[in-house]
Amino acid sequence: MNKKNILTGDRPTGRLHLGHYFGSLKQRVMLQEEYNTYIIIADVQALTDNFENPEKVRKNIREVVLDNLASGIDPKKTIIFVQSMIPQIAELTVFYSNLVTVSRLYRNPTIKTEIGQKQHLFGSGGESVTYGFLGYPVSQAADITAFDGALIPVGEDQIPLIEQTKEIVRKFNRIYGDTLVEPEYMVGSNSRIKGLDGNEKMGKSLGNAIYLSDDEETISKKIMSAITDTNKIKKDDKGNPDNCMVYYYHKLVSSNNLETINKECRNGSRGCVSCKKELIENMINFLKPMQERRKYYEDRPELVDEILQNGTSKALEKAEEVMKRVRKNMKIDYFS
Ligand code: TRP
């Protein structure tokens, strides 16, 4: 039986953090055993709001590849490639843009939120939003369909983008005949994790993230400053772990000892400082295997180049196969 394809990926705008790990990386690592997996390093998409910082995007391509490999992506099983090196994606984006209205793009919840967050770029009411940024959901639909992506493991914030892809696929297939695979998204059970400060989202720009590559000192400092139950002031005060970011992270990385932690916090036999120290140790141990893998690849830059180049040439082959189908069904396959 033919394996189904997974297509997912990241924007190369910085190193990846625990939010990315629990939102998507963890799932893709598990699923790579059962599916043909394609991981896109979405540099074209990163440029839609970093068009003035091409150096930043360029530099982070490698970081994002390293974070994927560190998480356990096996380059023998999984194809990792660079978006801008696949011209078929740009080609599909142009054709799909006929199938999407501008008002539908403005109503996309992810786009709406992001325009609101990027006032420095797009104006306080979004009046200076670019055509490219507004249209990136169309380009993301091209990313997915160019590889017959059937399953898309992503964080919760990406759901509206996959919904929009599904709409484009249905419209395309209705007009031009059955051509494209309609994808389904998959979100992990911890698909959105909170920041160290208790913010609903862990984010690079929010300064509340633990990165997969943070060293021990950085992890310690960040965890020591995490928000705990504000009613627990003295060491032996009774606390409520449900109002505590330290317990929240214990739940992610301290599964062996959770009940004790919870009980001791509630009955006042556990101080926040020692609780934080325990979390620091568990967090370091949780990240250690990833950091060892990262180091292995960091020490072998030519191997990383090779992984990306091989991945990109395999991705090109697949995208061209899909593109042939598209050209034929759109009746623009003039000389074949
Ligand atoms: N939008 C995703 C993010 O910001 C990155 C991405 C680009 C993506 N193309 C994709 C994710 C296709 C899933 C499928 O993280």
pLDDT in tens, the chain (336 residues): 579 999 999 999 999 999 999 989 999 999 999 999 999 999 999 999 999 999 999 999 999 999 999 999 999 999 999 999 999 999 999 999 999 999 999 999 999 999 999 999 999 999 999 999 999 999 999 999 999 999 999 988 999 999 999 999 999 999 999 999 999 999 987 778 899 999 988 988 788 999 999 999 999 999 999 999 999 999 899 999 999 999 999 999 998 889 999 999 999 999 999 999 999 999 999 999 999 999 999 999 999 999 999 999 999 999 999 999 999 999 999 998
Task: Tell me which residue of 310, 303, 253 sits closest to 283, measured CA to CA.
Answer: 253
267: DSSP letter: T
**297 vs 299: CA distance, rounded Å:** 5
Q: Which two tokens stand for residue 219?
A: 């992890």
Give ranges for CATH 3.40.50.620 in the chain: 5-194+301-329
Q: Does domain 214-294 have CATH number 3.40.190.10?
A: no
Task: Tell me which residue of 139, 188, 172 sits closest to 26, measured CA to CA.
Answer: 188
This prediction's pTM:
0.95
143 lines ligand 1 (CB under 6 A): yes
Q: What pLDDT, on the 0 to 100 scale, is given for residue 256? A: 83
**282 vs 287: CA distance, rounded Å:** 9
111 lines ligand 1 (CB under 6 A): no
Among 22, 158, 163, which residue has the most ligand 1 atoms within 8 Å of its CB, making it the best to mutate? Answer: 158
153 lines ligand 1 (CB under 6 A): no
* Residue 216 alpha carbon to ligand 1 centre in Å: 30
Structural fold of domain 5-194+301-329: Rossmann fold (3.40.50)
* Residue 265 alpha carbon to ligand 1 centre in Å: 39
Give ranges for CATH 1.10.240.10 in the chain: 214-294
8 lines ligand 1 (CB under 6 A): yes
* Residue 269 alpha carbon to ligand 1 centre in Å: 45
Name which residue sits closest to atom 14 of ligand 1, judged by CA. Answer: 8
